[in-house]
A and B are shown apart, each in its own frame.
Chain A
Amino acid sequence: MRELLTGNYAIAEAVRLCRVQLVAAYPITPQTPIYERLSDWESQGRLGGVMMRMESEHSAMAACISASLTGVRVFTATSSQGLALMHEMLHFASGNRAPIVMACVNRALAVPWAFGSDQTDTLSQRDTGWIQFYCEDNQEALDTVIQAYRVSEEVLLPSMVVIDGFFTSHFLEPVEVPDQSLVDQFLPPVDIPRRFDVEDPRYVANVVSPPQYFHFRQRSFRDMERAKAVIQEVDQGFKEVFGRGYGLIEAVDVEDAEVVLVTSGSIASTARVAIRSLRDRGERAGLLKIKTFRPFPSKKVRHVLRGVPKVAVVDRNISMGKEGIFCQELKAALYALDARPAVFGYIAGLGGTDVSPGVLEEIVIATLRKDEPEDVPVWIPGD
């Protein structure tokens, strides 16, 4: 059924459709409406699972981990400071191989205090061992939550489904809410290891030797690599059932492009408009949307950008002392090419500043005019 939903409510619909058995959550703007809607449904008897109203995000993730390891399907959602507070538990979740799915609604980290979208919160968790999906609109958010359970439960690694605060979380869009029967067909009832079995007692997560630690880490890495294929298979299967697919990345008009805009999240949807407008004016611009950030689809990225003369990366995030984080990752992926595109880094949209189609068009034009990228990114203040 087609409904007018915010990104937050689209995610809540997905959680219900996935028959999540336990939600442990804590309020934080701009994620809170997910928590509230799930609570409404619980009180109406429509959720099908139980809610744990936690006293912190740290404890929310702790409960998600132990419940997941016991063998039930769990969900939580957070933003910004809440995600930062969870940091210790994020490593714990992935190390324990708990297939948790968490919605992360990007919000600027303090200080200064701010509430608008900024990906530095989730990208700061890059090395916690979580799969990360960046969604560009409300439909993709809903669909990705459903896909994420399939992926996580297959590779036994947790997933973050990331949307932009307010631009995606609070804006209404028409969203196709799939039938429960179709979701049930795509996502079978949970069948994950039950780690605390009184008939087969194990000591989970106890102390290991240095070589054992090395070995466990290597296994997680191997399964994170395997996730690349699993994500594509799941996406293909999703497309067959629901008619929509996303891929690890998506390339638009790149074949003959002189400049390819590389971006993620809601800026990707704005970029589609900018690219069309530039094409209409005869500028050969293309778009590469990076949806899956971990595992990073290096091979796909190289394949798409091979032979492209210039790339402009627009980052709504910043690593102080270096540059935008997608820009770093992209450069690292392209290094294996003999003839590498020139990569131009732009910082835009921090703290929820607007990145309009006009801003993106200016970025493309500026990139066309430049010969060499600078060592530091160009800052685009925006509105």
Chain B
Amino acid sequence: MTVTRHELRQGRAPLAIWTASIGALMAMCILLFPEMKADMQGVSDLFASMGAFTQAFGMDRLALGTLLGFYAVECGNVVGLGGAMFAAMTGACALSREERERTADFLLSHPVPRAQVALQKLAAVLLEVLVMNAVLLAVSFVCIAGIGEEIPCAELLRLHGAYLLMQAELACLCFGLSALVIRGSAGAGLGIALVAYFLNLAANIAESAHVLRYVTPFAYAEGAEILERGQLDGGLILLGAVYALAAVAAGIRHYAQKDIR
């Protein structure tokens, strides 16, 4: 696991920065909840009159006056989108960075098969995503305890489990891409994360766009639906896993055969 260890060491700073930024935003949202709780009925009424906007964020199905409803909307968006951007960018740079920064000749002139190099890099990306989500979950527990609310453990684990799976899928999709795109891979990764996010909004708004739920991983990380159903959507997760595996397999296959620049 030499390459994985090296990648984790190299990725420490971005991981710390992204985790701290998302964690701080999330903590801020949670710490604001007691103050906003009293006004939430009015806010809910306001959102209820906003039609498509309310539907897009699942607010028509959530009670914003409750901790879980508020958490699923506010923190869900912060952790979901922020984490997705980090995961996509990290995945998209995993293989391409070596060629872009001209360190590929050094790494690949060692006796390690390229497929193994790629798998070890993927392991590092997924571990980073896991660490970020573990820290964010811990921050969430501490902040909720800090405002004196009861911690809804099962629901939070379900929500954060879904965020983790969604980020892992995006990381895998972008990892596959990183074998193909050398320059601009970070931008491409961010683009994929944002497009996936907006596809889910579109799927929530229009019935005709409902099919997009089978494309974007944000569909199974939708807070409103997870809380409503009390469980994750296994079918969508399985479909996402198939997409992720296909992207990883295609990426590794291409990386193992490509000419290194």
**A is bound by B:** no
